[in-house]
Amino acid sequence: MATSNARPGLPNPSSVVAEIPFAKPGVPGLEGVAAPQYRIIRTNEVDAYEAKPTKTAVAEAMVLEAKKKPKGDNFQGTSRKAAKLSIADAKTEKFNDLADVIKSFVPDKTMAKKKISTDAKSNRVEEEKRNVKVEAFIYAASAEDDNDFHLIIGRSPDAGGAEVYMTMELAGLPPASAKSHEALKAARDAFKKFFAKFFANNLPGTSYDFYDPPIRIQVEGSAFFDASHAKGSKPGPQSLRAKIPTVWELHPISKIKLLPPA
Q: Does residue 11 form part of some domain?
A: no
Q: Give the domain extent around 88.
A: 17-23+36-63+73-259
* pLDDT single digits (tens) 109-151: 999 999 999 999 999 999 999 999 999 999 999 999 999 999 9
Q: Does residue 183 form part of some domain?
A: yes
Domain count, the chain: 1
Q: Does residue 221 form part of some domain?
A: yes
* pLDDT single digits (tens) 17-63: 999 887 655 544 444 545 557 889 999 999 988 778 787 777 666 65
Pairing status of strand 149-154 against strand 92-95: unpaired
* pLDDT single digits (tens) 213-239: 999 999 999 999 999 999 877 899 999
Q: Does residue 1 form part of some domain?
A: no
The candidate with the shortest Cα–Cα distance to 105, out of 221, 247, 261, is: 247
Rounded Cα distance, 18 and 101, in Å: 33
Q: Does residue 42 form part of some domain?
A: yes
Q: What is the pLDDT of residue 27?
A: 46
Rounded Cα distance, 7 and 230, in Å: 30
Q: Does residue 12 form part of some domain?
A: no
Q: Does residue 8 form part of some domain?
A: no
- pTM over 0.75? The answer is yes
- Across all residues in the chain, what is the average pLDDT? 88
In this predicted structure, the answer to whether residue 66 has a pLDDT above a threshold of 60 is no
CA atoms within 13 A on the CB side of 77: 21
Q: What is the pLDDT of residue 197?
A: 83
Please list the residues that pair with 41 across neighbouring strands. 19, 210
From the number of C-beta atoms within 10 Å of its C-beta (0-12, 13-18, 19+), residue 136 rates as: buried
Q: Does residue 145 form part of some domain?
A: yes
Number of other residues whose CB lies within 10 A of the CB of residue 154: 23
